[in-house]
Structure 1
Amino acid sequence: MHLLDPDNARAVQDGERVCAAIAHLPDGEALHDWATRFALLADQTRLALLLCIHHAGEICVSDLAVATGVKDSTVSQSLRLLRAHGVVTTRRDGRTIHYQLTDRSLRGLLDQLPTPTVPASHH
């Protein structure tokens, strides 16, 4: 299948490679969705929260604040953004709200990050 636009063909050095590249580009909406996921991961606090939720499972704001060393208010603000983007979901238990990761794509990405070795005294 030839995917190359004839108007751009004059600048191409290897048409087969260009066609292979074009064939693997997602549509604009999917590309935007992935760019949004990567933008969410680009913030150190949000990435730390996502890693904690991913590895600890369902966890509340105060526990996330302790785990990350970030203020409760900052954790809550970051979690609101992650929830608005459908990355995490909540479960209420009385006055406590627990967060869990819902985005399977992000789970796969987070699995790729190396887990640091934690000294036994920190358990």
Structure 2
Amino acid sequence: MHLVPADRATHRTIDGHRVCEAIAAIGDTEHVRAWAERFSLLADPGRLAILLALHETGPLAVSDLAVATGMKDTAVSQALRLLRSAALVAGDRDGRIVRYRLVDTAIAEVLAHGVLGHRD
């Protein structure tokens, strides 16, 4: 059980080799924390709806996202601010209009396989 941290080495295990495999699969705790933060952004129905819309259609302006999601413009703007600060979306200015697009490829894959793959 070479992968078991010293602070857990005295704990009883049933399948020690699987414990080591599990520890290896979990990997770096910072990586796990970063993914947990990403998933927390997906946990909000409004933010998830915005991401789904952007994933399916490509760039959309705030007002268009508001109509598509049934949210108010201010709520969409606030959600986009969080998604932008987490580097999930980016905005492209075209005169006075800013169109937002999904830029996080890992989240796009999650949406495609996890959420979009189970629609009827």
TM-score, normalised relative to structure 2 = 0.89
> What SS does structure 1 have at the residue aligned with 2:55?
helix
- Whether the 8 Å contact between 1:48 and 1:68 is mirrored in structure 2 is yes
- Summarize deviations over 1:96-123 as a string: whole Å, max 9, x none: 1000111111000000213646xxxxxx
Matches within 5 A, 1:24-103: 24-103=25-104
| Structure 1 CA distance for aligned equivalents of residues 47 and 19 of structure 2 | 36
**Aligned pair in 2 of structure 1 residues 97, 11: CA closer, same or farther (>3 Å)?**
same
| 1:114 aligned residue | 116
Are 2:4 and 1:4 aligned? Answer: yes
Large movers: runs of 4+ above 2 Å: 4-10, 114-117
- Whether the 8 Å contact between 1:90 and 1:99 is mirrored in structure 2 is yes
Report percent identity of matched pairs: 48
State the Cα distance separating 1:25 from its structure 2 match. 1.3
Q: CA RMSD in A?
A: 1.7
State the Cα distance separating 1:8 from its structure 2 match. 2.5
Size of the aligned set, in residue pairs, is 117
| Structure 1 CA distance for aligned equivalents of residues 90 and 14 of structure 2 | 48
State the Cα distance separating 1:5 from its structure 2 match. 3.9
| Structure 1 CA distance for aligned equivalents of residues 101 and 27 of structure 2 | 28
| Structure 2 CA distance for aligned equivalents of residues 29 and 14 of structure 1 | 26
- What 5-or-longer segments of structure 2 have no aligned partner? none
State the Cα distance separating 1:27 from its structure 2 match. 1.1
| Structure 2 CA distance for aligned equivalents of residues 4 and 77 of structure 1 | 42
Q: Which amino acid is the alignment partner of residue 93 of structure 2?
A: R
> What SS does structure 2 have at the residue aligned with 1:11?
coil
